[in-house]
Structure formats: C-alpha cells, structure tokens
C-alpha cells in the first residue's frame, strides 16, 4: 500500500484551525480575486519562501521559483508568469531575489558538466568562466560563491529588463519597477543589491555586466537602512540644536 502522507493532512487541518481562530475571515479574503502588487522571482530552495521572508499574507505576492532564480528568455514558464503578472495582475514591482550559499549557483562554478541542470545554468557558467581569474583572487570558496550569487541577481534583472514584455509595459507608460535583492539564510535578512530599473533608458544606461563583476557590491539590509536613518535623524537634531550644518557621512553599520 502506498503512503498517503497522513501526517501532512493532519498538519493542514491544524493550520486551517489556527488560521480560522486567529482570523475568521482569512479564507473568505483568500477566495476573493488576488490583487498582488509584487511578482517575486526566486530560487526553488525550500528555505526561502517569499511570503514568510516578506512577512506578508498569501495573496500579496505572485511567485515564480526555479533553480538559482534564472531568467531564461526562452523559458515559456517564466514568460507566462511574467505576462500574467504584468498584463493581467498589473503588478508594480518585480523582485528577483536569490540567496547566499545557493546550490544552483555553486553548480555553475564546478567542472562537472552534462546534466540538464547544466544547460539551465549555462549563461551563469559562461560568465563565471569568463571572469574565473577575478573570482579566484578571492581567498575563500564561500566568498567566491556569495559574490557569484550577487552577480547572478544583477544578471537576471538585466535579462528581465530585456524581455519584450517588460519593454512594452514601459513604452506604454505602465508603472513597473525591477529590483535585485539577496537573502541571507544565516540571518533571515533581505539585502538590496540593485539594480533598480523603471524604464528602458535606465536599463540602457547600465554599465556592462562585465564591469559590474569587477565592481564591489555593498548589499544593504533593512537593519542597515534603519541604522542610517537613525544616525541621520540624530545629526539633524544636533544640527538644529547648535544651528550648524550637518557634515558627517554615514557611519559603518552592520549589514
């Protein structure tokens, strides 16, 4: 007799009961037409789920996930999701979010070839091979991996911005913003990497991806943003109190 995974059905019942007790209208709201403001293009990694990471209820985020959050312009799956999100749901923000320590990105760095996964990762693999010497100036393997995870996100935002679906939305004046983020599984924090693109002109003004590989990226988390804001508020208060201009630059803050 095949296993029916009864324990998961039991967990589902417990989840429904808990949700209903905390919010009797939860499932009624979920049954109504979804109107998400965000499309999340993320990695299939089971530890990175969009709604949990963002602290949002189901229905707030339209989600597409695949190995290493790759944007293939020949992939009918992602193109269908993108079309539905832009033209029917009218999302305003598309977030490409990868994560540090990504197993898919690591696969793109190794010599073993031939699996279907390698065909999927080939654009990233070719970029890594092109800049192999640059990556190997980094002392540690985990440092090289995390840097390639960051570059991969920027690469995919650019590929997304080059699709006719996104171009057409911008040309007809539809509000649509693309964002590049990365998630730290080790601490639960999202970090802003960029680029942030809202038009064809902004996309075309970007330096080449080869230049970006050689340029250090400084990811900014919400914790860092709050620290900046608090510091600047203190500077403003001190400036007003002594009637002098605020001069110091932002301090070094934890990521």
CA distance 204 to 200: 6
Residue 182 pairs in a beta bridge with 98, 191
CA distance 165 to 170: 9
CA distance 121 to 123: 6
**Of 64, 99, 179, 203, which is the active-site residue?**
99
**Of 43, 146, 158, 212, which is the active-site residue?**
43
**Of 102, 144, 147, 212, which is the active-site residue?**
102
How many whole angstroms from its chain centre is CA 143?
19
Does residue 47 have an active-site annotation? Answer: yes
**Of 17, 23, 29, 47, which is the active-site residue?**
47
Q: From residue 26, how far is each of 13, 20, 22, 39, 82 by CA, in Å?
A: 15, 7, 9, 22, 27
Does residue 45 have an active-site annotation? Answer: yes
CA distance 75 to 71: 8
- Annotated catalytic residues are 43, 45, 47, 99, 102
């Amino acid at each position: 007799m095949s296993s029916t995974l009864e324990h998961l059905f039991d967990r589902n019942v417990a989840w429904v009961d808990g949700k209903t007790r905390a919010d009797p209208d939860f499932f009624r709201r979920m049954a109504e037409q979804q109107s998400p403001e965000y499309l999340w293009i993320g990695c299939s990694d089971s530890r990175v789920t969009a709604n949990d990471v963002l602290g949002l209820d189901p229905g707030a985020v339209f989600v597409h996930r695949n190995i290493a959050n790759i944007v293939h312009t020949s992939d009918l799956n992602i193109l269908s999701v993108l079309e539905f999100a832009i033209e029917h749901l009218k999302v305003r923000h598309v977030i490409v979010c990868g994560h540090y320590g990504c197993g898919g990105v690591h696969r793109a760095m190794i010599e073993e070839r031939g699996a279907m996964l390698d065909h999927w990762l080939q654009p990233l693999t070719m970029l890594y091979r092109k800049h192999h010497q640059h990556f190997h100036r980094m002392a540690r393997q985990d440092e090289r991996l995390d840097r390639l995870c960051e570059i991969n996100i920027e690469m995919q935002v650019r590929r997304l911005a080059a699709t006719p679906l996104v171009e057409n939305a911008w040309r007809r004046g539809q509000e649509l913003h693309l964002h590049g983020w990365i998630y730290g599984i080790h601490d639960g924090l999202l970090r802003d990497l960029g680029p942030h693109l809202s038009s064809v002109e902004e996309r075309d003004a970007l330096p080449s991806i080869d230049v970006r590989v050689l340029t250090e990226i400084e990811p900014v988390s919400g914790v860092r943003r709050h620290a900046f804001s608090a510091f600047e508020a203190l500077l403003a208060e001190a400036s007003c109190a002594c009637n002098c201009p605020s001069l110091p630059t932002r301090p070094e803050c934890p990521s």
